[in-house]
Amino acid sequence: MNENRKAILITGASSGIGRATAECLAYNGFSVYGGVRDGKDFQELVNIPNISPIYLDVTIEKTIQDAFNNIKEQKTGLYGLVNNAGIARAGPLMDLPIQDLREQFEVNLFGIHMVTKTFFPLLEKSKGRIIMMSSDSGFFATPFFGPYCASKFALEGYSDSLRRELLLCDMKVILIQPGRVATPIWDKGKKLLKRETNSIFTPYAKKLGEHAIEKGKSEGLNPKEVGKVVYEALIKKKPKLRYLIAPSTLKYRLIKILPERWIDRLVNKEFRKIEENL
């Protein structure tokens, strides 16, 4: 399907979900601006048809403004913004340096706000769409992934408020909620597990963290599956407000309807299993 070269900006397009989504949209006829932070990634995207790399760091306001000026000068307009750039910080909250929490929100919420606010004039002109890359962690808070979960919960609330405000502009804000996806983010998580801490939480955090990383790398969805859903969200006349992406959504549906105390019991049961092997 040729989308008449409608222009889309994707942040964090150098790898993982962002790269897969950029390639998917470009293949299907969109003109893609891929936000990257370094020269190596820039050069890789240059060689892909219909993708124009653009320097953009969501935590640096100047690069966001420069990217806006660059796209405006191209006179392509902007039909879609895919707020994909994100990082994951993890660890027991009571052991967590406040800097980790600040870094988490600088990228996963404040950066998204700066990018969306800057590019809003172009999006409003085209009655375009804003895609927010959330996560199953945006509605299910797991132990020892508090910073990441908190940022995605915040993004969900931000997106709901923005969607309702933009009803006045006849625009759509769509949340994408992937479960485990096989991306480089899991390798980065390994570094967090190597931190030397001495608290009652350490053995539990390491055990659950190792399990999550192994599952993510071995059973995670191909990021191309997320790209396909983003494409659908951009072309459908009446897209869903939220797209949950997982091999099976039964577990997630149960999480949403079961009493929270039941979920707490299940988590506690996992802690007891870990204790048996300590």
Give me the number of domains the chain comprises.
2
pLDDT tens profile 205-214: 888 888 777 7
User: Based on the domain organization, do 269 and 133 belong to the same domain?
Assistant: no
User: What pLDDT sits at residue 213?
Assistant: 74
User: Based on the domain organization, do 110 and 195 belong to the same domain?
Assistant: yes
For residue 69, being part of any structural domain is answered with yes
User: What pLDDT sits at residue 174?
Assistant: 98
For residue 133, being part of any structural domain is answered with yes
For residue 214, being part of any structural domain is answered with yes
User: Based on the domain organization, do 75 and 181 belong to the same domain?
Assistant: yes
Q: What residues make up the domain containing 53?
A: 7-247
- Is residue 242 pLDDT above 90, yes or no? yes
Q: How far is CA 101 from the centre of its chain?
A: 16
- Is residue 38 pLDDT above 60, yes or no? yes
User: Based on the domain organization, do 176 and 271 belong to the same domain?
Assistant: no
For residue 229, being part of any structural domain is answered with yes
pTM of the predicted model as reported, rounded to 2 decimal places: 0.92
Q: What single letter denotes the amino acid at residue 215?
A: K
User: Based on the domain organization, do 261 and 167 belong to the same domain?
Assistant: no
User: Based on the domain organization, do 177 and 274 belong to the same domain?
Assistant: no
- How crowded is the C-beta side of 174, counted as CA atoms within 13 Å? 25
For residue 173, being part of any structural domain is answered with yes
User: Based on the domain organization, do 184 and 240 belong to the same domain?
Assistant: yes
Give dist(CA 98, CA 214) in Å, integer. 27
User: Based on the domain organization, do 166 and 37 belong to the same domain?
Assistant: yes
For residue 2, being part of any structural domain is answered with no
pLDDT tens profile 10-35: 999 999 999 999 999 999 999 999 99
User: What pLDDT sits at residue 196?
Assistant: 59
Cite the active site residues: 148
User: Based on the domain organization, do 130 and 264 belong to the same domain?
Assistant: no
For residue 232, being part of any structural domain is answered with yes
